Each structure stands twice: as C-alpha cells, then as structure tokens.
Chain A
Amino acid sequence: MYQSLLELKNVTKIFSVGGYLASKKTIKALDSISFTMPSDKPVITALVGESGSGKTTLARLILGLLEPTSGEVLYKGRKVSDWLKKDKIAYLKEVQPVFQDPYSTYNPFYRVERVLEVAIKKFKLASNKTERQEMILKAMKEMGLRPEDILGRYPHQLSGGERQRLMLVRLLLIKPKLIVADEPVSMIDVSLRAIFLDHLASFKNNLNTSCLYITHDLNTASYISDKIIVLCRGRVVEDGPKEDLIKEPLHPYTKLLISSIPIPDPKNRWKEKIESKSIEFFKESELKRCIFSERCPFFKDICGRETPPLFEVGHDRRVACFQYC
C-alpha cells in the first residue's frame, strides 16, 4: 500500500543549454526537491516561488512531461514513468493539469466543447451521446457557466476567465485525485479570480481532490491552500502549514518575501526602505552554499561553504537555514 498520494524524493532536474555556436552549459532547474502530499485526506498544497525558481519544471515532472535527471516522483507509491508505461489512461484520469495560459490550451479550429467531449470519450465517462450531453450541461451549471453562452463557440469568442472556468468543468467531469494547477489565475482579471479560486477550492470538499497550486503570488496561495512550500532558485527553502508560515516565517528569504507583498491598505505602508543589496543579486550558478547567502543579513561562514539541508523545526515545518540547526 502507499502512504502518500504524491511523493518527491530528491528530485533534481538539469537542463543543458547551448551547443553548436555557444559553449555548452548546464542549468540546475531543480536541486534535490523532496516533499509529500498525504493520501488520507485531500489537501491543497501551494508551491510558491519567483520566476526562475523551477515551479513549472516541477509541474511538468509530476505530469510526466519531463523525466527527472535523478531522484523519483512517486504517485501512490509508484514511479510516474512506470504509471505512464503501464497504466497511462488511469494515471491521466487521476492526475490532471490546469495550465497558465487559457489561450493556448484550446485548439482554435474546434468548438470549445471538444475539450469536454474528448475527455468523456477518452475516459469512457458516458455510455451514449445523450448521457454525455447531460453530463456537460450539469457540470457547466455547477461551475456557474451558462451553456447557451458557451457551447458551440470557438475559443477566440470566449474571455480568458470563461476559458479557464471551462477547464474546471472538464475537471468536474473527470473527477481526478490530484490537480496540478500551474499559475491558473495569473491571466484572469482580478475581479474574476476570486470566483475561479473558490471553485478550485470546492473540489477539495466536494470531490475529495487534492491540488498542487503553483504560483508566484503568496496572496492567492494563502487564500486557498492548507500548506505552503517556498521555492527559491530550484531549492525548497521552507515549508509548513499555511497559518504558521505566514504568521511566523523562519527563513530570511521567506521573511523578505512576505514583508514585500504590497498590502492593499494605504494606512499600512512599507515602513523601512529596502536595501538594494538585498534585492538584487548577480546571476551566477550556485554550487555548495545557501542560495540566499549573498543577500542574507544573518550570513555566517558556513552559509558560503555548505548547502543547508531542510531542518525539522516544530510540527510539520522544515526550513533550510543554518540558524535553525
């Protein structure tokens, strides 16, 4: 039997770039990432990181679109590559993505309902055409979309928000066990984001579906998630239950990140000026040292010599910082 729904064990992904004219270089997109999502109850785990931290690479590894260079991605205790070789349809039915760009997920030549019909046929969710039609109508109503406004149209005739919500309708039909949502709201208008996030969160209670919510935005992450994992340049720097992590961040990077989020209240403005040293750093590949060392106000010798492992601190919290060893 398996203990966790999703488990990553020391996952590393290295890309090599260049060749032909430029000299060949390697880029470590992910550097021994380990975390788990439990199987006994549905949870929403948020993976937060700035651009270039390896968020999307991680999503692609879980979806089986990329192979890790080393380490293992296990779903229900079995390797993803093994699932895809032997039980591809079963895996795809249980692990479903929501992508960032609602414009490129649709084929412009087909009417939008095709994304629903293909899913129903592929996963044999309905036995005949009438049943299929009924399923689609019911699911659309549940997601607050009016079928008469949507069905029969082409992708360019719908707004980004509608297209992204149609993806939720698709999930409602498939009823996956795990949703991998990669920046699902970054291209939707602010006024419609809340509606999308509430629907996504409702899957946890109504369908028992877990979700890995990948984002750069701690605001939306703190709104829908149960647990937050903070990534920085390919490494996990800190993780823990949402409330604890937001209220009391431990890693200096997380502290800086949380204090820099603009608060929508003019009475609560940033007090101190941020030091430019702590904002900017030159791009260079880092080897054996803490990734935040060049910006860290608590720098010690060891930080420049060794990579800090994730130290267990308190209940269900881990932090990669020598201050806590």
Chain B
Amino acid sequence: MLEVIDLRVYYKSIWGDYKSVDGVSFSIDEGDFFSIAGESGCGKSTLVDGILKLVKPPGYIPTGKVFFDGKNLLALKEEELRKIRGVKLAYIPQGAMNSLNPVIKIEEQMIDLILDHNGIDKKNAAKIAFSSLKEVGLQTEVAKMYPHQLSGGMKQRVIIAMAISLKPSIIIADEPTTALDVVAQRGILQLLRRLKDEYGITVMFISHDMACHAQVSDKIAIMYAGKIVEVDSTFNLFENPAHPYTKGLLSAIPSIGKTYIKGIPGMAPSPLNWPPGCRFHPRCPKAMDICAEMEPSMEEIAQGKWVACHLYR
C-alpha cells in the first residue's frame, strides 16, 4: 500500500548537510497498524515530511521513492499531490490540535475542509461533518463550539474527525497524544485502533513512547540516527528484541511494578556527523571491530523480522 525506498531527507547548513533521514526503506500493507518508534532527534517527523513531500528549504530530498497506490508521490506535481495528500492519505501532524482556528466554530472548519476537497454541496458536507464527529465519540453539540471550549483530548478528536471525513485509506499520525494526559491518551489510541479494526483504515503511528506502541500496534519499526534498525511484529519485537539498541530501549522504559531500569550510556549522535559503520556502535555493549568499519544492511533473520546488525550475519 505504502512503500518507501531509500528515502533521504537532508537539511543544508553552513556546517554541511544535516542528514536527518538517511536511507530509510519499509513498506506498509493494507490494513496494518504500523508504528515507528525512536527517540527525539532520530528523524521520525522528518521521515513523515519526506513521505508527504512536505520538506521545505533548506531541507531537500536527495534520493528516494514513495509509492502509494502505484504512484511515486515524490515525482508528482504539487497539484496532483494535493488530490492525494489530505484525501486518500490523511496526515495528523504533531500538535495539530493547536492549529484549529480559534475564532471559527468547529462545524465551519470541518465543512470548509470537506468542500475544499470534495465537490459536494454544503448541506451534505455538514452531514459528513456530523457523522465524523459521532464516529470519534464526540457529541454533536461540539460542532457549534469554538476550540477554546474543548479540552485537549476533544480537540485531538476533532482533528481525527476531520481526517476521516474525507474517507482516507491511510492515516499518518505523528505523536497524536503529546500534551495529553494518560486518560485522554488512552482514548485517542483506542480510537485510532477502532478506525483500523472497524473500517480497515491503515494507520501509520509515530511515537517515542514504546508503551503506547505495545498497546495498539501490529507492526513496529525502530529508528535510530536517521535509519531503521529493526522491523518486526509488535508482539515478537517486545518478546525477542534483536538489535542491541532495541534491547537497550526496552530495558530503559520505567513502568509500574518494575524496580530496575537501565539507561543506554553515551548520547545520541549528531545528524551532522553520524558515526562511521553502524551508527550505534559507540554506545553498543556488543560492538565488534567490524561495527566501526562497515555499515550493516537490513537482513531478514526470521520470518518477518528485519534487523540491521552485524551480530546476525
């Protein structure tokens, strides 16, 4: 359904290129709940910008292909792309709930969006808006309200209602629960999961929080330093992590009842100057000589489990 091949997104600067996303390939099947996990600065959000061709100067895309519905999005003209982006391919950027217009009623904002992409009349657009609001678990009174009258969780639901009002086949949600408390977060995650289960909408869910991924996703990709280091089914990844970074990340999560957690020593490298060879080798407890010299490629070490690590060659 969505296939990304060797995507790179660089940012020009006077010190050289910031290689935020540096050769990422993966594919999402129809009806997947696909997660991308990684720490801040690993390139998660930039990856989404790249997929949707939303990279703005000084950023640029030196190489890469993104196939969606058989078309390479990166080769399309802006006008053609607009017909897909936002319609078939809904995008919920980080902090989207703060981009609602504070002086326009929710209803009006939703109708505007639907009219902009659909050639239907206002009455039908209003109907769609109402049914989408119901779909995300909001009462229809919300339609007549202004954004400041809603809580954070409700605003995020409005955003999701907007996204589904155009009947997309995939929703890309970038950190949809930041700035929400845990109860509202649970509501939003369960809503995304329900959209997938009931309507078969494919979801690409980006978050730094491994626990959220564990709760809702089917398949997960772990990113580190601009690259994907491991892809697996969510169940198996938590059970049998293969890459030393994934292992470290999992043992660093504090959770209730856990009395011992262990961090990963060292610090994340800079996109200006990635370490040679495997990018994790300066922090890796199992680093070998080859790790500093040769970059490991992605290998399928078991059915559906892809890892980029010299330990498994």
B267 touches A197 (CB 8 A): no
Residues of chain A within 8 A (CB-CB) of B74 are none
Could you say which of A10-18, A94-102, A119-127, A253-261 contacts chain B? A253-261
With a CB–CB cut-off of 8 A, which chain B residues contact A162? 267
Which of B9-17, B99-107, B111-119, B254-262 touches A?
B254-262
* Cβ A219 vs Cβ B254 within 8 A: yes
A223 adjacent to chain B (CB < 8 Å): yes
Whether, in the assembled complex, B121 has its beta carbon less than 8 Å from a beta carbon of chain A, the answer is: no
Question: Is B248 at the interface (CB under 8 A from chain A)?
Answer: yes
In the complex, A265 has a CB within 8 A of chain B? yes
Q: Please tell me which stretch of B75-83, B164-172, B181-189, B291-299 contacts chain A, meaning at least 4 of its Cβ atoms lie within 8 angstroms of it.
A: B181-189
Specify which chain A residues have a CB less than 8 angstroms from the CB of B210 in the assembled complex. Answer: 190, 264
Residue A26 at the chain B interface, CB threshold 8 Å: no
B: interface residue count bin: 35 or more
- A274 in contact with B186 (CB, 8 Å): yes
Tell me if A270 and B211 are in contact (CB < 8 A).
Answer: no
Does B187 contact A279, Cβ atoms closer than 8 Å?
yes
Query: A273: which B residues are within 8 A, CB to CB?
Result: 190, 194
Q: Is B250 an interface residue (CB 8 A)?
A: yes
- Residue of A220, A261, A279 touching B153 (CB-CB under 8 A): A279
Q: Mark A199-239, 1 if CB is under 8 A from B, else 0.
A: 00000000000000000101110110000000000000000
Does A24 make an interface contact (CB < 8 A)? no
Contact A161 B153 (CB under 8 A): no
Interface flags for B235-261 (1: CB within 8 Å of A; 0: not) read 100100000000011101111111101
Query: A278 CA to B235 CA in the complex, in Å?
Result: 29
B215: chain A residues at CB < 8 Å are: 262-263, 266, 269-270
Residues of A within 8 Å of B186, CB to CB, are 260, 262, 270, 274, 279
Query: CA of A264 to CA of B211 in the docked complex: distance in angstroms?
Result: 4
A159 and B214 contact, Cβ closer than 8 Å, known pairs A223-B254, A263-B255, A266-B238: no
A-chain residues with CB within 8 Å of residue B151 when the two chains form the complex:
280-283
Considering only CB atoms, which chain A residue lies closest to B138 in the complex? A276
Determine the chain A residues whose CB is within 8 A of the CB of B253 once the complex forms. Answer: 190, 219, 264
Which A residues are within 8 Å of any B CB, using their own CB?
Answer: 50-51, 159, 161-162, 189-198, 216, 218-220, 222-223, 246, 256-258, 260-270, 273-274, 276, 278-283
The 3 A-B pairs with the shortest beta carbon distances in the complex, nearest first, are A50-B181, A194-B263, A262-B211
17 A-B pairs besides A191-B39, A276-B138, A282-B151 with CB distance below 8 A are A50-B183, A51-B152, A159-B268, A191-B249, A191-B264, A193-B252, A195-B263, A223-B261, A262-B212, A266-B235, A268-B214, A270-B215, A276-B187, A279-B184, A279-B187, A282-B149, A282-B150
